[in-house]
C-alpha cells in the first residue's frame, strides 16, 4: 500500500507525513485489493469491520459507523419512487459523518508519532477532530471563520478540549492558514486534503452494500468541501476492483445555490472556478473553494452522475419533511440531499423506478438556530385542566 498523486501518478510511502504531491496534486491511498477480506454478510455493521480496506495499524475508535439505513416509505410516496433510503450519518458518535474520517486520520496521527493536530472547519470537522484527539491524548487546534459556526458544533469542539482560533475571514482563508501552520510547525493536518480522512469516509459505500446486499442506482449527497463524494466513490470502486460487485452507482452531488462553485460550473458546462463569499443557511456546505474539487469532479463524471443546486428555501422544506414524515432530524446541509432528489424527480433526471440512497451528513441538533428561526415556540397558558383540555380538544 502507498500514496499516489491523482495528477501525475508519483508514489510516496504511507509512513511519510505528507498531504500533497511535489507537483501540488492531491494524494490518494492505493489499497492492496488482493488482500482485502469478504466480510459483506449484512451482519454487525461497523466501520472497523472493513479494516482490511483501511491503511492504518493503530486504532483510536469511538465506535463510529454502523449508522442506520432507513427505508423512507412516506417520502417514497411523496417523490413517487420505488425504493428510497436515508443513510443517517448524524447517528455517529459526534453527530456527523466526519467521525469516519477522523477515526482513521487520528489513528494515523498516532502511528506517525504526532502530538498535535489542526484543522480549519465550518464546525463538524472541529467537533469530530476534538473528540478523537482527546481520545488519543493529543492537543487539537481549530481555525474557524468568526461568527459562521453553528453553536452546537462550537460547543462540542470546546467541551472536547480543542483550542479555538476564530479568524476574521471565511473557511477558505482558514484552510490556507492551517496548511501553512501544518507544514511549517509540524502539526498534523486533519482537513480532508489529508488522504486518510477519505479512507474512513469510503466505508459509507461498504456499509450500504453490506446492508442492502446490492448496489443502488443512485447515491445523492450534499457537497461542501467535496471530500465525501470522492470518498464514497472510491469505496464503490474498490468493491468493484476487488471483485465483490459489478454495478456502480451514479454519484449525484447537491450544493446550495449560494455556495455552488462545482455545481454551477457543471451545469453551465464550463471550467471550475472558486466562488468568493459563499452564503447559505446550510453552514456545513458554505464553502467557496472545495479542496477536493478535482476528485469530486472525477467521481461525478466517471460514475455518469451529475451536480445540482437547491435554494435555501428548498433545503429548509426538505429538513422539515424528513423530520415530520420520517422522524429523522438532520442539519440543513444534510437536507440538501433530499431537496436535490425532489428537484431531480421533478425534472425527470432520476426516474421513479431507480433505487436511491440519500446521505444525510449531520444531526439536526448541530444547528438549532436555523430551526428556531423558522418555528414559533408557543406562548405559555394557565396551568389548569380547563385550558389544557381546551387546547387538546
Ligand atoms: Zn503529482
- Using an 8 Å Cβ cutoff, are 309 and 257 in contact? yes
Last residue of a domain, one of 158, 173, 194: 194
DSSP label of 68: -
Average pLDDT, stretch 46-50?
A: 98
Q: Enter the DSSP assignment of 332.
A: H
CA 9 to centroid of ligand 1, rounded, Å: 6
Pairing label, strands 69-71, 83-88: antiparallel
Answer yes or no: do 219 and 240 share one domain: yes
Residue 297 main-chain phi, psi, to 5 deg: -60, -45
Q: Are residues 328 and 306 in the same domain?
A: yes
Decide if 61 is inside a domain: no
> Does one domain contain both 86 and 175?
no
Q: Could you say which of 194, 209, 227 is where a domain stops?
A: 194
Q: Is residue 36 part of a domain?
A: no
Report DSSP letters for 218-265, one per residue.
EEEEE-SSSHHHHHHHHHHHHHHHTTS-S--PEEEEEEEGGG-HHHHH
What pLDDT does residue 39 have?
A: 98
pLDDT for 317 equals 96
For residues 73 and 117, membership in a common domain is answered with: no
- Measure 7 CA to ligand 1 centroid, in angstroms: 5
Show the domain range for 15.
Answer: 1-30
Copy the grid coordinates of residue 192: 480532508
309 CA to centre of ligand 1 in angstroms: 31
**Does one domain contain both 271 and 167?**
no
Strand order in the sheet with 2-5: 11-13, 2-5, 27-30
Q: Could you tell me what percent of the chain has a pLDDT over 90?
A: 80
Residue 237 placed within a domain: yes
Find the 23 Cα to ligand 1 centroid distance in Å. 4
User: Per residue in 101-134, pLDDT tens?
Assistant: 999 999 999 999 999 999 998 789 999 999 999 9
Query: Per-residue pLDDT averaged across 298-302, rounded?
Result: 95
Note whether 203 and 128 are same-domain residues: no
Reported confidence tier of residue 140, pLDDT bands at 50, 70, 90: very high
48 within domain boundaries: no
Domains in the chain, number? 3
* Ligand 1 center–CA 26 separation, angstroms: 7
* Ligand 1 centroid distance, CA of 11 (Å): 8
Confidence of residue 211 (pLDDT cuts 50, 70, 90): very high
**Would 12 be classed as within a structural domain?**
yes
Q: How far apart are CA 195 and CA 212, in angstroms?
A: 27
pTM for the whole structure:
0.94
CB distance 363 to 96 below 8 Å: yes
Taking the centre of ligand 1 as the mean of its atom positions, its distance from the CA of residue 5, in whole angstroms, is 5
Same domain, 182 and 285: no
Cell of 102: 477522523
Residues 2 and 142 in one domain: no
Amino acid at each position: 500500500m502507498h500514496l499516489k498523486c491523482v495528477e501525475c501518478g508519483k508514489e510516496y510511502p504511507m509512513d511519510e507525513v505528507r498531504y500533497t504531491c511535489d507537483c501540488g496534486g492531491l494524494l490518494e491511498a492505493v489499497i492492496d485489493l488482493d488482500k482485502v477480506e469478504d466480510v459483506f454478510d449484512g451482519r454487525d455493521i461497523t466501520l472497523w469491520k472493513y479494516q482490511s480496506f483501511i491503511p492504518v495499524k493503530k486504532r483510536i475508535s469511538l465506535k463510529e459507523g454502523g449508522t442506520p439505513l432507513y427505508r423512507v416509505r412516506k417520502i417514497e410516496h411523496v417523490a413517487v419512487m420505488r425504493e428510497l433510503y436515508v443513510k443517517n450519518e448524524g447517528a455517529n458518535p459526534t453527530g456527523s459523518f466526519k467521525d469516519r474520517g477522523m477515526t482513521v486520520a487520528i489513528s494515523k496521527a498516532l502511528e506517525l508519532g504526532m502530538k498535535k493536530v489542526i484543522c480549519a472547519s465550518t464546525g463538524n470537522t472541529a467537533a469530530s477532530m476534538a473528540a478523537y484527539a482527546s481520545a488519543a491524548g493529543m492537543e487539537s487546534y481549530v481555525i474557524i471563520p468568526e461568527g459562521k459556526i453553528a453553536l452546537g458544533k462550537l460547543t462540542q469542539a470546546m467541551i472536547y478540549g480543542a483550542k479555538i482560533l476564530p479568524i476574521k475571514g471565511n473557511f477558505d482563508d482558514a484552510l490556507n492558514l492551517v496548511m501553512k501552520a501544518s507544514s511549517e510547525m509540524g502539526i498534523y493536518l486533519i482537513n480532508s486534503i489529508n488522504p486518510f480522512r477519505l479512507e474512513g469516509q469510503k466505508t459509507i459505500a461498504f456499509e450500504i452494500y453490506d446492508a442492502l446486499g446490492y448496489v443502488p442506482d443512485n447515491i445523492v449527497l450534499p457537497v461542501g468541501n467535496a471530500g465525501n463524494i470522492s470518498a464514497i466513490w472510491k469505496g464503490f470502486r474498490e468493491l468493484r476492483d476487488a471483485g465483490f460487485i459489478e454495478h456502480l452507482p451514479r454519484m449525484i452531488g447537491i450544493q446550495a445555490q449560494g455556495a455552488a462553485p462545482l455545481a454551477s460550473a457543471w451545469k453551465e458546462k464550463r471550467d471550475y472556478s472558486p466562488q468568493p463569499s459563499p452564503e447559505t443557511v446550510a453552514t456545513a456546505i458554505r464553502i467557496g473553494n472545495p479542496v477536493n474539487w478535482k476528485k469530486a469532479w472525477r467521481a461525478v463524471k466517471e460514475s455518469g452522475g451529475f451536480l445540482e443546486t437547491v435554494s435555501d428555501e428548498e433545503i429548509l422544506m426538505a429538513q422539515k419533511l424528513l423530520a415530520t414524515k420520517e422522524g429523522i432530524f438532520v442539519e440543513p446541509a444534510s437536507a440538501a440531499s433530499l431537496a436535490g432528489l425532489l428537484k431531480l424527480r421533478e425534472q425527470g433526471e432520476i426516474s421513479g423506478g431507480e433505487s436511491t440512497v440519500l446521505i444525510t451528513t449531520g444531526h439536526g441538533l448541530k444547528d438549532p438556530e436555523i430551526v428556531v428561526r423558522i418555528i414559533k415556540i408557543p406562548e405559555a397558558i394557565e396551568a389548569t385542566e380547563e385550558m389544557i383540555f381546551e387546547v387538546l380538544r
